[in-house]
Amino acid sequence: MSFIGEEIARQPAAWLKAAAVAAAPDSGLPEPGERVAVVGCGTSWFMAEAYAVLRESRGLGETDYFAASEFPHERAYDRLVAISRSGTTTEVLELLDRRRGRYPAVALTADLTTPIVDAAEHILDLSFADEKSVVQTLFATTALTALRAGLGEDAEPLAEQVRTALDAPLPEEWLAAEQISFLGRGWAHGIAREAALKMREATQGWTEAYPSMEYRHGPIAIAAPGRLVWHFGPDADGLRPDVAATGALFVDHPEDPQADLVRVQRLAEATAVRKGLDPDRPRALTRSVILEPAGS
């Protein structure tokens, strides 16, 4: 088995542990009402989006999310949340450094031996969810679970729901799909973007992601027989018949979008193996992007 396969399977236990970590009184996670920015790169950026949209939609305070490289430094926040498995991603470290002294930051990381530990005032130790695979699965959803627990959500039902996504067989039509578009509304859009990235990273596949209601505004032109449209959360917007009319397959599941993402992680691994690719070590990717200082 690849590392990623084993890491995917470890998610339910890690989610429960993450909820306990987030419950610590000195976690440094945002308080209700605070104005918060959430940042990351790659997968961590998409987890930032999911959390930020979820927090604001629960009425817990304005919450922005940014790719670390696009952070608007002139803005003031009450708190920064930085997500980085490696703890070494250059854009995240630079951003933490630039805001120092203006407002506090909490960093979620899997490696306490890295510079991020000194760059943030609070650290959420998720080292139990570190990964050997370059492609993130376990750390990403574990970080999101910790953040969701910080919003008062119970991780137990989530860890229970994911069982079906972990165990159900992957249909041949998914494995054979030539193209996949992932859709979601609200916080599930971050999950859709992560699903699309997972398939691109592990399988070199052609994937896209959109907010559900944007799909009719152009992207549906791509839908065709042999292609897939995957909706995170049940389709409440009547997209199914529109997609069916194109001949593409429409997929949605009743579970929480985070639990459904696990199906896509499994699909990414299985598709990579079928294509003869190493799902742990995609071409051109490294565990972390560490940039040389400008001008060197």
Using the contact rule CB under 6 A, the part of the chain among 22-30, 35-43, 219-227, 233-241 near ligand F1P is: 35-43
Question: With binding defined as CB under 6 A, does residue 63 bind ligand F1P?
Answer: no
User: How far is it, in rounded angstroms, from Cα 282 to Cα 205?
Assistant: 12
Q: Which is nearer to ligand F1P, 43 or 145 (CB)?
A: 43
With a CB cutoff of 8 Å and minimum separation 6, the contacts of 295 are none
Of 22, 50, 80, 92, the residue at the interface with ligand F1P (CB under 6 A) is: 92
The count of chain residues that interact with ligand F1P, using the rule CB under 6 A, is 17
Question: With binding defined as CB under 6 A, does residue 42 bind ligand F1P?
Answer: yes
**Which residues inside 210-269 make contact with ligand F1P, applying CB under 6 A?**
none
**Which residues inside 146-185 make contact with ligand F1P, applying CB under 6 A?**
none
Question: With binding defined as CB under 6 A, does residue 86 bind ligand F1P?
Answer: yes
* Strands lying side by side in the sheet with 122-125: 63-67, 36-40, 79-84, 105-109, 122-125
Of 11, 43, 142, 145, the residue at the interface with ligand F1P (CB under 6 A) is: 43
DSSP, res 31: P
Residue 277 tokens, joined: 């690719």
With a CB cutoff of 8 Å and minimum separation 6, the contacts of 58 are 151
Residue 216 Cβ vs ligand F1P, minimum distance, rounded to whole Å: 30
Q: Identify the three-state secondary structure at position 41.
A: coil
Question: With binding defined as CB under 6 A, does residue 133 bind ligand F1P?
Answer: no
Number of helical H runs and strand E runs in the chain: 11, 9
Residue 63 tokens, joined: 């919450």
Of 35, 216, 281, 287, the residue at the interface with ligand F1P (CB under 6 A) is: 287
User: How far is it, in rounded angstroms, from Cα 179 to Cα 181?
Assistant: 7
Using the contact rule CB under 6 A, the part of the chain among 38-46, 51-59, 240-248, 263-271 near ligand F1P is: 38-46
Name the site residues for ligand F1P (rule: CB under 6 A). 40-44, 84-86, 89, 92, 134, 136, 201, 285, 287-289
